[in-house]
């Protein structure tokens, strides 16, 4: 361990413990401890700039779960070289020559895999059949074709799957869906053509993609550009009987239009995220047998926490080792 390297891991306060990442801390602290002194700190107020919670003077690297970096913060952090976290002031950090490591990449596998699970559940009505069995309403009819013919159903193989948002999560979802033999296309104005080509995924504009898709997957980040982009008119462009899978954020969608189409039996689907969380007890989406729900859990698993730790440790090791030469 180099005495010249100090790392701070700043956590959310206890009252925001649902935002903490328990499996991250042990792994990151242990592995960072191989080449640096590591301090763990629970922030007093995660809404304040981080420099108002802690003296940053001695630190070469910071993991920030809560608190933003400002120019004033960096004025008291002369040794700081690298920061890992979520949206904590990337622009000001990079403007000061400090590397920023985005930890949301730790969620890409877990969110994409849950998305595949939700898609398969939707195609085979898994959640509905499970609920019927639990309630004792099943009939062991031993007949074929038990999926609802009013909605896209059966195998993922050969289905036309459109992905809205081709960042890390969207690309990983497409990679997994391709292994099932799905036909894939995607849209994302911020991703260059070579990324689409290397992934083997066709590029389409949004409206043609919606028209084409039997399964339409919302996997975009919650950016200002995507807010409300899939408005009521576009929700109603989704082909009748198609499936809508929401795995990143609901904010690109007119969710009332989604509710209207689900209630009318025009589309099926599944979602891990919603415009209102927790979802109200009387929400129409809770009552539909053709819409599978999970409570914003896609990224909440130990493996995702550990992957975030691996990302942070690898970046800190690279930067601090170079700085110590």
How is the chain split among helix, strand and coil, in percent rounded to 5? Answer: 40, 15, 45
- Burial class of 260 by CB neighbour count within 10 A (0 to 12, 13 to 18, 19+): middle
- Burial class of 167 by CB neighbour count within 10 A (0 to 12, 13 to 18, 19+): buried
List all residues 6 or more positions away from 74 whose beta carbon is below 8 Å from its beta carbon.
Answer: 51, 80, 92, 93, 96, 98
Return d(Cα 48, Cα 27) in angstroms, integer: 27
Residue found by looking up tokens 């920023």 in the block: 100
The pLDDT score that the predictor gives to residue 324 is: 47
Both tokens of 221, joined, read: 């980040």
List all residues 6 or more positions away from 223 whose beta carbon is below 8 Å from its beta carbon.
Answer: none
Return d(Cα 171, Cα 174) in angstroms, integer: 5
CA distances, 45 to each of 54, 68, 102, 242 (Å):
11, 11, 22, 45
User: Over the chain (325 residues), what is each successive 10-residue block's mean pLDDT?
Assistant: 81 67 89 94 86 94 91 95 90 95 92 98 93 82 76 97 96 98 97 96 98 97 88 98 96 97 97 95 94 94 93 96 60
The pLDDT score that the predictor gives to residue 43 is: 84
Both tokens of 200, joined, read: 């083997």
Both tokens of 63, joined, read: 């993991």
- For residue 38, how far is the Cα from the chain centroid? 28
Return d(Cα 254, Cα 63) in angstroms, integer: 35
DSSP-H helix ranges across the chain: 22-32, 71-75, 90-95, 108-124, 126-135, 168-179, 193-199, 206-212, 232-235, 255-263, 284-287, 302-323
Residue 119 in contact with residue 244, Cβ under 8 Å?
A: no
The pLDDT score that the predictor gives to residue 42 is: 87
The pLDDT score that the predictor gives to residue 1 is: 47
The pLDDT score that the predictor gives to residue 71 is: 95
Q: What's the pTM value of the predicted model, to 2 decimals?
A: 0.90
Nearest to 206 by CA among 183, 223, 222, 226: 226
Helix axes 302-323, 108-124, angle to 10 degrees: 160
Domains, the chain, with CATH or none: 6-97+301-323 (3.40.50), 107-293 (3.40.50.720)
The pLDDT score that the predictor gives to residue 182 is: 98
Q: Edge-to-edge strand order for the sheet containing 291-293?
A: 202-203, 183-187, 160-164, 215-218, 243-246, 268-271, 291-293
The pLDDT score that the predictor gives to residue 15 is: 62
Nearest to 182 by CA among 123, 139, 230, 226: 123
The pLDDT score that the predictor gives to residue 187 is: 97
The pLDDT score that the predictor gives to residue 45 is: 82
| 75 phi/psi in degrees, rounded to 5 | -65, -25
């Amino acid at each position: 361990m180099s005495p010249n390297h100090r790392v701070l891991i700043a956590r959310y306060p206890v009252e925001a413990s649902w935002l903490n990442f328990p499996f991250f801390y042990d792994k990151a602290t242990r592995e960072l401890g191989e080449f640096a002194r590591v301090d763990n700190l629970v922030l007093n107020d995660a809404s304040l700039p981080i420099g108002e919670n802690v003296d940053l003077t001695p630190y070469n690297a910071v993991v920030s779960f809560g608190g933003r970096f400002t120019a004033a913060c960096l004025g008291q952090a002369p040794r700081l070289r690298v920061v890992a976290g979520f949206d904590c002031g990337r622009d000001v950090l990079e403007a000061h020559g400090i590397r920023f490591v985005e930890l949301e990449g730790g969620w890409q596998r877990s969110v994409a895999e849950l998305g595949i699970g939700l898609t398969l559940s939707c195609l085979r009505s898994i959640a509905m059949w499970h609920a019927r069995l639990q309630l004792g309403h099943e009939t062991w009819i031993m007949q074929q074709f038990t999926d609802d013919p009013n909605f896209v159903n059966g195998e993922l193989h050969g289905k036309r799957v459109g992905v809205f948002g081709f960042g890390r999560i969207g690309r990983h979802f497409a990679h997994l869906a391709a292994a099932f033999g799905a036909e894939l296309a995607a849209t994302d104005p911020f991703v260059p053509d070579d990324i689409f080509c290397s992934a083997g995924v066709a590029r389409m504009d949004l409206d043609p993609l919606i028209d084409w898709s039997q399964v339409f997957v919302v996997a975009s980040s919650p950016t200002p550009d995507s807010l409300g982009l899939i408005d009521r008119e576009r929700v109603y462009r989704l082909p009748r009987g198609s499936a809508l899978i929401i795995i990143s954020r609901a904010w690109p969608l007119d969710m009332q239009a989604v509710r209207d189409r689900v209630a009318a039996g025009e589309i099926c689907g599944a979602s891990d995220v919603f415009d209102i969380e927790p979802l109200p007890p009387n929400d129409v989406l809770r009552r539909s047998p053709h819409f599978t729900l999970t409570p914003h859990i896609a990224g909440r698993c130990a493996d995702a926490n550990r992957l975030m730790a691996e990302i942070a440790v690898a970046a800190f090791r690279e930067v601090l080792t170079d700085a110590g030469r």
